[in-house]
């Protein structure tokens, strides 16, 4: 039995569905290659519109949802725990249909504006198909509760005059409901989709690129060096490492499946009960959603909805996040004292200072992101600049690695900085200047073998980021329903 076959268990397949970016033995061969290509194309589109966007907000939202439907139907089958070794033809039809329908606003944008409020028969048919596909994609990803909970509000809007007592209202026409849900910047293309299409995806890519660059190892090594030798050290490592991971990744599931694969076995090896070890990692990972600077998707939606700068929400979350992780740290300390669980030997733990000396440069993009967010720049601008800094760092490090002399490496980075400064001094927008530097480094990396390997790493980050993004926007797509009928009178 091969290693992949040994890992092809029902439990592993469920984990693969939760986080396809870290899947093992999931969609191999041509199916895996197609999903990989879709993920790269999706990420490339999002990066492009963040740097230079000639499209309207409505079109960006529609194409964004189209990509989400494409990747959702490719990744998830009809049954929740069914083996996903290939993609059936009917799922390809649904995926392609969802993507093509996502282009409807792009192709007919002018016509839709002219007949706003008076949709044609074709508009209504397209709207019904888009709604059906969004609900089905949500069911495959999240299960039945969310689509059912959202779906009951559609008949509520249609059947208002026949409802009893205080539930009754004048009702809406079928064309009004479809127009509200699909043909404008409300409904499935409302604020959550706007936030997802503009900067949440950028932060997902930001975390994905840093993970590919080795940020997880840095977090684990620093955590081990700080608390690994203490009483209950492995569990304390899980708490601190998950907290660090939460600064670059607002997804609790992704946090568990990246940090947890190292910390949970470590805790069990040192005497923690399996249930407690899993609970510690799950608890610590979920705290990443409230850990600044990159928080969970709800924080971005909150900022956009209530009109408060994201930096203020991040500042307000600092104390609750520290209290959350402080409580988790204290609980694992008490559990360790209760069962007399010791930590690792001091000599087995890596040096935190050595880990920081070797990987300090990985913190630079995060520092840039924090500075921009708290200096008044928009999350979209901070996200794209932070992402470009990460890419420049990875590609530049690969190109300068063959240079044996530290002086030569220093000259390389100085020259790169001067090029970026020249572009900015020439009046080029910051995003375009950063993209220009990335383009130069990409061309240079393509010319030698080590650079091509790094480019493959970057493509992996793009594909993994897109595959991880499905859990954020897809479940919000059916969340914006028609306004309360009583408020619409």
Q: How far is CA 161 from the centre of its chain?
A: 42
pLDDT at residue 3, as a whole number: 47
User: Among 123, 161, 341, which Cα is nearest to 236's?
Assistant: 341
pLDDT at residue 25, as a whole number: 44
Torsion of CA 386, 390, 392, 398, to 10 degrees: 170
DSSP conformation letters of 18-65: H-GGG-SS-S-HHHHHHHHHHHHHHHHHHHHHHHS--S-HHHHHHHHH
pLDDT at residue 13, as a whole number: 53
pLDDT at residue 103, as a whole number: 96
How many other C-beta atoms are found inside a 10 Å radius of the C-beta of residue 320?
12
For 173-197, the pLDDT digits (tens) are 999 999 999 998 888 999 889 999 9
pLDDT at residue 26, as a whole number: 58
Q: Which residue has the tokens 């059947």?
A: 159
User: Among 443, 464, 461, 463, which Cα is nearest to 452's?
Assistant: 443
Tell me the Cα Rg of the chain: 24
Q: How far apart are CA 252 and CA 246, in angstroms?
A: 8
Task: State the angle between helix axes of 297-306 and 310-339 in degrees (0 to 180), rounded to the nearest 10.
Answer: 150
pLDDT at residue 6, as a whole number: 46
For 214-235, the pLDDT digits (tens) are 898 899 999 999 999 898 899 9
pTM of the model: 0.86
Q: How far apart are CA 390 and CA 251, in angstroms?
A: 19
End-to-end CA gap in the chain:
66
CB-CB contact of 482 with 146 (8 Å): no
Q: How far apart are CA 40 and CA 133, in angstroms?
A: 22
Where would I find the H helices in 28-173?
Answer: 29-51, 57-75, 89-102, 104-107, 109-114, 121-142, 145-151, 153-158
Secondary structure percentages of the chain, helix, strand, coil, to 5: 75, 0, 25
Q: How far apart are CA 162 and CA 245, in angstroms?
A: 52
Q: How far apart are CA 470 and CA 480, in angstroms?
A: 17
pLDDT at residue 478, as a whole number: 52
Q: How far apart are CA 122 and CA 104, in angstroms?
A: 11
CB-CB contact of 470 with 72 (8 Å): yes
pLDDT at residue 1, as a whole number: 46
User: Among 208, 233, 206, which Cα is nearest to 352's?
Assistant: 233
pLDDT at residue 479, as a whole number: 46
User: Among 81, 95, 113, which Cα is nearest to 38's?
Assistant: 95
Q: How far is CA 488 from the centre of its chain?
A: 35
CB-CB contact of 147 with 134 (8 Å): no
Task: Please enumerate in sequence order all residues whose Cβ is within 8 A of that of 215, keeping only pairs 6 or more positions apart, or say none.
Answer: 248, 359, 362
Low-confidence residues of the chain: pLDDT under 70: 1-27, 80-84, 470-489
DSSP 375: T
* Inter-CA distances, 185 with 119, 171, 422, 482, Å: 15, 21, 39, 12
How many other C-beta atoms are found inside a 10 Å radius of the C-beta of residue 362?
21
pLDDT at residue 24, as a whole number: 42
């Amino acid at each position: 039995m091969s290693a992949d076959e040994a890992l092809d268990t029902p439990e592993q397949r469920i984990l693969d569905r939760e986080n396809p970016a870290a899947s093992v033995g999931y969609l191999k061969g041509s199916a895996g290659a197609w999903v990989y290509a879709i993920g790269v194309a999706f990420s490339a589109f999002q990066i492009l519109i963040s740097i230079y966007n000639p499209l309207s907000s409505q079109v960006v939202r529609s194409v964004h949802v189209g990509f989400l439907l494409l990747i959702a139907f490719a990744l998830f089958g009809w049954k929740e725990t069914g083996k996903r070794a290939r993609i059936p033809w009917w799922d390809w039809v649904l995926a392609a249909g969802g993507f093509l329908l996502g282009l409807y606003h792009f192709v007919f944008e002018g016509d839709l504006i002219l007949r706003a409020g008076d949709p044609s028969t074709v508009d209504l048919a397209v709207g019904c198909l888009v709604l059906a596909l969004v609900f089905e994609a949500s069911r495959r990803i999240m299960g039945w509760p969310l689509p059912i909970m959202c779906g009951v509000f559609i008949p509520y809007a249609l059947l208002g005059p026949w409802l009893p007592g205080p539930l009754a209202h004048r009702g809406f026409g079928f064309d009004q409901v479809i127009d509200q849900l699909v043909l404008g910047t409300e409904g499935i293309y409302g604020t959550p989709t706007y936030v997802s299409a503009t900067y949440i995806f950028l932060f997902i890519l930001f975390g994905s690129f840093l993970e590919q660059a080795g940020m997880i190892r840095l977090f684990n090594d620093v955590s081990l060096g700080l608390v690994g030798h203490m009483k209950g050290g492995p569990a304390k490592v899980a708490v601190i490492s998950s907290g660090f991971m939460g600064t670059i990744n607002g997804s609790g599931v992704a946090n568990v499946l990246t940090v947890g694969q190292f910390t949970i076995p470590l805790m069990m090896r040192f005497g923690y009960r399996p249930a407690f070890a899993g609970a510690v990692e799950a608890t610590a990972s979920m705290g990443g959603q409230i850990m600044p600077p990159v928080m969970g998707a709800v924080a971005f939606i909150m900022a956009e909805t209530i009109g408060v700068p994201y930096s203020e929400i991040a500042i307000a979350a600092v104390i609750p996040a520290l209290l959350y992780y402080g409580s988790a740290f204290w609980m694992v300390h008490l559990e360790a004292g209760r069962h007399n669980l010791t930590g690792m030997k001091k000599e087995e733990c890596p040096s935190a200072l050595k880990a920081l000396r070797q990987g300090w440069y990985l913190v630079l993009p995060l520092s840039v992101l924090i500075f921009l967010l708290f200096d008044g720049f928009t999350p979209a601008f901070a996200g794209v600049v932070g992402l470009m800094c990460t890419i420049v760092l990875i590609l530049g490090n690969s190109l300068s690695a063959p240079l044996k002399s530290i002086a030569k490496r220093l000259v390389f980075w100085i020259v790169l900085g001067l090029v970026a400064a020249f572009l900015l001094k020439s009046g080029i927008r910051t995003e375009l200047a950063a993209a220009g530097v990335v383009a130069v480094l990409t061309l240079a990396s393509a010319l030698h073998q080590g650079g091509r390997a790094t480019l493959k790493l970057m493509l992996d980050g793009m594909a993994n980021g897109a595959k991880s993004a499905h859990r954020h926007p897809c479940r919000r797509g059916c969340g914006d329903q028609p306004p309360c009928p009583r408020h619409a009178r």
